[in-house]
Amino acid sequence: MPRVHIKKNDTVYVLSGKDQGKIGKVLKVFLDKNRAVVEGLNNIQKHTRPNPQKNVKGGILPKESPINISNLMVVCKRCSKHSRVGYSIMQDGRKVRVCKKCNEPLDD
């Protein structure tokens, strides 16, 4: 498995594509495909058939599709800027992700 700098519930900035410059929250990460689903971004139109047993109405619904992880950058909570991710070992032995701009840990 490749090492990925993005985790679920991170706030990310989109670097390229049709949603370039937008910010969203990561809903799911697919490690094997190197992709992530971001809330409200990279929407596609899903055509659904009505299903009365599941209370699903038919029609065209918007749905988020995965974005390649190389097109995403983590937004730091402290400095509220998108930055690269570094790794640091804390005094208690934990390995945490660190913002490269302000050197503050991204993980709590």
Domain of 34 in residue numbering reads as 1-50+58-75
Q: What is the pLDDT of residues 52-105, one digit of tens each?
A: 999 988 999 999 999 999 999 999 999 999 999 999 999 999 999 999 999 999
Domain holding 37: CATH number? 2.30.30.30
Domains identified in the chain, total number: 2
- Global pTM value: 0.84
What is residue 4's predicted lDDT score, i.e. its pLDDT? 86
* Sequential DSSP letters for 40-73: T-SEEEEEE--BGGGTB--EEEEEE--EEGGGEE
67 shares its domain with 84: no
65 shares its domain with 104: no
8 shares its domain with 33: yes
65 shares its domain with 90: no
Element (H, E) at 24: strand 23-30
19 shares its domain with 68: yes
7 shares its domain with 26: yes
45 shares its domain with 66: yes
13 shares its domain with 42: yes
What is the identity of the amino acid at 99? C
Q: What is the pLDDT of residues 11-67, one digit of tens each?
A: 999 999 999 999 999 999 999 999 999 999 999 999 999 999 999 889 999 999 999
